Amino acid sequence: MNIAILGLGTVGTGITKIIEGANPTAMTADLHISHIFVRPDRVDQGDKLVSDYNVILNDQSVETVVEVLGGIEPAHTMITQALKHHKNVVTANKAVVACYIEEFKQLARENNVQFRFEASVGGGIPWIVNLERGLRIDAVDSVHGIFNGTSNFILDRMTKTGESFESVLKQAQDLGYAEADPSADIDGYDIENKLCISVDVAYDTLVHPGEYLPKFGIRTVQAKDIEYFKQLGLVVKLMGRSKLNGDHFSYVIEPVLYKAGEFEASISDNFNCASFHGASVGDLGFIGQGAGMMPTGQAVVQDILDINGQVKHLKRTLDTKLKLENRFDKGNYIVRTTSTQFDSLTSDWQVTSDGEYRTVVDIDAQSMHSIMKKVLADDSEAFMARVAGGVE
Ligand SMILES: NC(=O)C1=CN([C@@H]2O[C@H](COP(=O)(O)OP(=O)(O)OC[C@H]3O[C@@H](n4cnc5c(N)ncnc54)[C@H](OP(=O)(O)O)[C@@H]3O)[C@@H](O)[C@H]2O)C=CC1
Ligand SMILES: N[C@@H](CC=O)C(=O)O
C-alpha cells in the first residue's frame, strides 16, 4: 500500500520509523511511504518530501493519506480533499476529528474509502477499536479516564519529585508529549476533544467541543496543593468522564483526587487509562502511553494495517439526540481560593475549612464549575479538585 504522510513532526516521524525501520513485520513490510507533505522550506531535505498537495491528490497510486499536521486548518480541507479523491484517511488529530467526525465519516462512505482515527484518543492505547468491539454486543453507558499524557506526566512528576509545574511542563514538551500550544493539555481542551470523540462513538451521538462543556484544568495547581493532598493520602489526576442515562448524558473534565494506591492514582508518567462500561462486559479499561512519538505512531500504523487488511470500522450514524445534564453528578470538591465571593457563591451547600482549603460537600458538577468560573475571575490562582467516589 502506498501512503502519503502529511506532517513530519513527532507523530509523522514515529510512523516513518515504524514503517521504514530496520525490523519490519510481515504486515508492515507491505506498507510503502511514497510522499511526505512538508512546508516548502523542507522539500530539499529528502526525495519523498513534497509541498504541493496536488502531487499527492493526483497520484492514483496513493491509497492512504495520513494526516498528522495538527490543528483545524489546513487539516480539515486536506482530509476532505483526500476522501473526495477516493483515498483512505488516517489521522491522529483529535481537534479536527472532534469538530468534523460526521463530515469525514459521510465523505468516506460516499467515496467508498475508510476514515480512521485510533491515535486521536489515548495515543498508543487501542481505545476506539476496543470501544467499537464492545459496542458490537453491549450498549455502553459510561466512558471515563485519563485522556491526556502531558497533564498526567506533569501531575505525576510534581507528586513524585516535588518539581515545579513550569519545569515539568517543559520536560513534557521536550519529550514530544505536549500539543503545539500546551494550553490545550493543561486547560482540558485536548481532553475535551478526546472525550467528545469517545462519547460520539460510545453513544452514537454528536457532541461538539465548546464552552458549554464543563472543564477545569491544572493550570493553577501548585506544589503546595500536591503536598496538601499527599497529607490526606490523595493523588490528583486530570480526568474526563461521561455517563449516559436515558436521553441525558453527563460530561465533565476536572482534576479528581484518588486514594494513593487506587487504580487511577497509580497511572504514571505519560500514561493514559481509558475505560467504558457495558451491560455484559461490565467495566473494561485500557492503559498505555497516551502520548509520544512511537506509541502514537504505532496506533496510526495499526489503523493503516486495518485498512490494508480490509478491517472495517463499526457503523455509527451519530444521530442519537441527547441532552447534556450534569446536575445529577454530585460529589465533594476541595478548593483553594482567596476569592471574597466564595462564601456567598457556596452558601447553598455545606462547606468545611482546613487552613486555606475548603471542601464543598455534595455539590453537583454543573454548579461547582459555574461557581469556579466566577471565582477565577476574582482569583486567577484558584484551584479545585473533586474527591473521587461522590454521590452520582
Ligand atoms: N505528540 C503526541 O504524542 C500525539 C499527537 N497527536 C496528534 O497528532 C498530530 C501531530 O502531532 P505532533 O506530531 O506531536 O505535532 P508536531 O508539531 O510535532 O508535528 C506537526 C508537523 O506538521 C507540520 N505542519 C503543520 N502545519 C503544516 C502545514 N500547513 N504545512 C506543512 N507542514 C505543516 C509541522 O511543521 P512546523 O513545525 O513547521 O509547524 C510539524 O512538522 C496532532 O494533531 C496531535 O494532536 C495525537 C496523539 C499523540
Ligand atoms: N498532547 C497530547 C498528545 C496525545 O494526544 C497528550 O499529552 O495527551
Q: Which residues pair with 350 in a beta bridge?
A: 361
Q: Is 160 a catalytic residue?
A: no
The DSSP bridge pattern shows strands 350-354 and 140-146 to be unpaired
Q: Does ligand 2 come within 6 angstroms of the Cβ of 291? A: yes
Average pLDDT over residues 368-386: 97
Residue nearest to atom 4 of ligand 2 (CA): 291
2-6 β-sheet, strand order: 49-50, 32-37, 2-6, 62-67, 88-91, 115-116
Question: 117 CA distance to ligand 2 centroid (A)?
Answer: 14
Question: 176 CA distance to ligand 2 centroid (A)?
Answer: 9
What pLDDT does 159 receive? Answer: 95
What pLDDT does 353 receive? Answer: 96
Question: 71 CA distance to ligand 1 centroid (A)?
Answer: 8
Q: Does ligand 1 come within 6 angstroms of the Cβ of 297? A: no
Q: Does ligand 1 come within 6 angstroms of the Cβ of 387? A: no
Predicted confidence (pLDDT) at residue 124 exceeds the cutoff of 90: yes
SS (HEC) of 3-39: EEEECCCHHHHHHHHHHHCCCCCCCHHHCEEEEEECC
Neighbours of 47 (CB within 10 A): 8
Question: 234 CA distance to ligand 2 centroid (A)?
Answer: 24
Neighbours of 321 (CB within 10 A): 7
Residue nearest to atom 37 of ligand 1 (CA): 9
pLDDT digits (tens, 9 = 90+) for 218-249: 999 999 999 999 999 999 999 999 999 999 99
The rounded percent of the chain whose pLDDT value lies above 70 is: 99
Average pLDDT over residues 82-98: 98
What pLDDT does 392 receive? Answer: 39
Please give the number of the atom of ligand 2 that sits closest to the Cα of 147: 8
Q: Does ligand 1 come within 6 angstroms of the Cβ of 119? A: yes
The ipTM is 0.99
What pLDDT does 390 receive? Answer: 57
Predicted confidence (pLDDT) at residue 391 exceeds the cutoff of 50: no
Distance CA 105, CA 114 (A): 8
Average pLDDT over residues 346-360: 97
Question: 193 CA distance to ligand 1 centroid (A)?
Answer: 16
**327 burial class (0-12, 13-18, 19+ CB within 10 angstroms)?**
exposed
Residue nearest to atom 3 of ligand 2 (CA): 291
Q: Does ligand 1 come within 6 angstroms of the Cβ of 291? A: yes
Ligand number nearest to the C-alpha of 182? 2
**Strand ranges in the chain using DSSP code E only, listed in sequence order:** 2-6, 32-37, 49-50, 62-67, 88-91, 115-116, 140-146, 234-245, 248-259, 271-278, 282-289, 323-324, 330-336, 350-354, 357-364, 383-387
Predicted confidence (pLDDT) at residue 357 exceeds the cutoff of 70: yes
Q: Does ligand 1 come within 6 angstroms of the Cβ of 177? A: yes
DSSP 260-325: TTSTGGG--TTEEEEEEEETTTEEEEEEEE-SSHHHHHHHHHHHHHHHHTTPPPPP----B--EE-
Question: 179 CA distance to ligand 2 centroid (A)?
Answer: 6
pLDDT digits (tens, 9 = 90+) for 241-294: 999 999 999 999 999 999 999 999 999 999 999 999 999 999 999 999 999 999
The residue among 389, 185, 143 whose CA lies nearest residue 284 is 143
The rounded percent of the chain whose pLDDT value lies above 90 is: 95
Ligand number nearest to the C-alpha of 150? 2
Q: Give residue for cell 465523505.
A: 107
What pLDDT does 23 receive? Answer: 84
Phi-psi label, residue 123: left if phi above 0, alpha if psi -120 to 50, beta otherwise: left
Tell me the three state secondary structure of residue 372: helix
Mutate-to-test residue for ligand 2 from 11, 190, 191, highest number of ligand atoms within 8 A of CB: 190
The mean of the pLDDT values for the chain is: 96
Which has the minimum average pLDDT: 254-258, 315-319, 349-353? 315-319
Half-sphere exposure of 172 (CA within 13 A, CB side): 33
Question: 270 CA distance to ligand 2 centroid (A)?
Answer: 8
Ligand number nearest to the C-alpha of 9? 1
Cα 159 off chain centre by: 22
Catalytic residue among 87, 94, 194, 330: 194
Predicted confidence (pLDDT) at residue 200 exceeds the cutoff of 80: yes
Q: Does ligand 2 come within 6 angstroms of the Cβ of 364? A: no
Ligand number nearest to the C-alpha of 238? 2
Q: Does ligand 1 come within 6 angstroms of the Cβ of 69? A: yes
Question: Which pairs count as long-range contacts for 340-347, CB under 8 Å and 24+ apart, including other chains?
Answer: 340/378, 341/374, 341/375, 341/378, 342/371, 342/375, 345/371, 345/374, 345/375, 346/371
**344 burial class (0-12, 13-18, 19+ CB within 10 angstroms)?**
exposed
pLDDT digits (tens, 9 = 90+) for 151-170: 999 999 999 999 999 999 99
